[in-house]
Amino acid sequence: MIWINFPAFAITAIILWIASIILNTFFSKKKTLEYFSLIISFIGIIVIFSFIVLLWKALERPPLRTLGETRLWYAFFLPIVGIISYFRLKYKWFLSFTMLVAIVFLCVDLLHPEYYSKSLMPALQSPWFVPHVTVYILSYALMAAAALVAIKGLYYMRIKQFDNQTLSLIDSLVYIGFAFFTIGLLFGALWAKEAWGHYWTWDPKETWAFITWMLYILYFHLRYANPKNHKIAMWLLIFGFITLLICWFGVNYLPSAQNSVHVYSRG
């Protein structure tokens, strides 16, 4: 019955992370406050980790069998990726971003207690599940951000205020988002080999992931060969994000997806 204690842990972590995001975003010029924001973000990770450990002990098995349980791992790993990129690469905004996504997962778990016991079908019970989904979540969020900035960019082009800063931001988002997308795709391939016997079967989800991946590859090549042609590049990001949405949600509704291994509701 350890889930009863979850709100206390989750809310503590959420408050710590919100504080850290505020410090990191608005007061990062002062070194001491910057360190302070890192420390509280780290304490937030420890809070979630303690809950995972306690739950693990109470359940006497790794908490990886229900939807609610897997979200705990996302909330745990996301800020870790953020902190690593902070120290290794000095990506300040990225840490805030990962904490924000982690907060969203904790909130989903807080608002939907029925998923605590929603069991995972055997095909999903694998150590690949959490890393595969975590990197995809990061990538989706980054690509969404890139598409939004691209729309803003198109608007700025119309009023002739498009600048290098916008373009640099978009490129950064797409590079990092694409890196995670590729890792998610390849983790999926490696997992598929373990679970279904083949790394690539043109399952509808794979097909749409492939289309999305290729569209972003087109973006890179266009940016490389025609660096001044911003307009098509921005449109590619918007199309890329639309196919990404189809890949994420839409696949379940397509007629060709009836035999997909990614439609889990059949149980």
Q: Which residues bind other proteins (CB under 8 A)?
A: 65, 85, 89-91, 94, 114-115, 117-119, 121-123, 125-126, 164, 167-168, 171-172, 174-176, 178-180, 182-183, 186, 189-190, 193-200, 202, 204, 207-208, 210-211, 214-215, 217-218, 221-222, 224-226, 254-256, 267
Count of beta carbons in the 10 Å neighbourhood of residue 191: 19
Q: Return the SS3 of 66.
A: strand
DSSP 91-151: -HHHHHHHHHHHHHHHHHHHH-GGGGS-BPPGGG-STTHHHHHHHHHHHHHHHHHHHHHHH
Nearest Cα residue to 37 out of 96, 89, 103, 121: 96
Q: Residue 228 and residue 232: Cα distance in Å, rounded?
A: 10
Question: At closest approach, how far in Å is the CB of 57 from other proteins?
Answer: 20
Between 30 and 118, CB nearer to other proteins: 118
Between 100 and 167, CB nearer to other proteins: 167
Question: At closest approach, how far in Å is the CB of 13 from other proteins?
Answer: 25
Question: At closest approach, how far in Å is the CB of 70 from other proteins?
Answer: 15
Distances (CA, A) of 77 to 82, 101, 104, 137, 213: 9, 11, 13, 11, 24
Question: At closest approach, how far in Å is the CB of 167 from other proteins?
Answer: 5
Between 224 and 249, CB nearer to other proteins: 224
Note whether 109 and 7 are within 8 A (CB): no
Between 47 and 116, CB nearer to other proteins: 116
Between 11 and 218, CB nearer to other proteins: 218
- Count of alpha carbons within 13 angstroms of residue 231, beta-carbon side: 4
Tokens describing residue 263: 């439609």
Question: At closest approach, how far in Å is the CB of 126 from other proteins?
Answer: 4
Between 75 and 247, CB nearer to other proteins: 247
Q: Residue 198 and residue 195: Cα distance in Å, rounded?
A: 8
Question: At closest approach, how far in Å is the CB of 123 from other proteins?
Answer: 6
